[in-house]
Homo-oligomer: A and B are copies of this chain.
Amino acid sequence: MYGMPRADTREELIASTQDLLWERGYAATSPRAILDRAGAGQGSMYHHFAGKEDLAAAAFRRTADRLLDAASAVLDDPGDTGGALDAGGAGGAGGGGGAGGAVGRVQAYLLRRRDVLRGCPVGRMAGDADVLGTPALREILAGTFDRIRAATTEVLAEAVRRGELPADVDPAQLADTVLAVVQGGYVLARAAGNPAPFDRAVRGAVDLLERARTAGR
């Protein structure tokens, strides 16, 4: 570490901004709060970044990339044995599942463990008017959902091709249903101050997907 203090400070600034964006959002995060959390001096933000917006974009991009990696790990699981469902659904799925396949990967995505009461670090940014009004941030926000949507659509299309789901299922439509259940589950859990609504919402969706399966009916 010694000898590269600048790179360390840059990383500290990004990590602190990631935390603050998740906790407070963009509008409510001041440069002062970032510097305090990072333990960095006045000039360091402007040494490494053009300003708060530039730093926030770097932090948000990193958060989004981590989320996309986590989603891909479940949706693109090459094992395809339903093992991901067992791991992610340790809390117990209400509606069965475990039959694996492409549908099982989407169910595993729904049941993936999440820090529910903190909210989604990406989705929460959609509630921040300053994010929607800042093109660089808005682009990351919309682009992240586009990529999760595309990945989910692809897995659901695979489920239809394999005959796991009926041929008249619209994968793009159903992908947004899946994404919405997760995002809405966060909203309901935060409103209740309790993760239970999130858990019920995703299990209900897992159950509906299971009932939609053509095989095993």
| B176 engages A185 (CB within 8 Å) | yes
Given A177-B200, A200-B172, does the pair A132, B183 have CB atoms closer than 8 Å? no
- Which of the segments A42-50, A55-63, A77-85, A207-215 contacts the partner chain? A207-215
| B28 engages A170 (CB within 8 Å) | no
30 A-B pairs with CB atoms under 8 Å apart are A95-B173, A123-B184, A125-B191, A126-B190, A126-B191, A132-B193, A142-B192, A145-B191, A146-B192, A170-B203, A173-B200, A173-B204, A176-B188, A176-B197, A176-B200, A177-B204, A177-B205, A177-B208, A179-B188, A179-B201, A180-B182, A180-B183, A180-B184, A180-B198, A184-B184, A184-B187, A208-B208, A208-B211, A208-B212, A212-B212
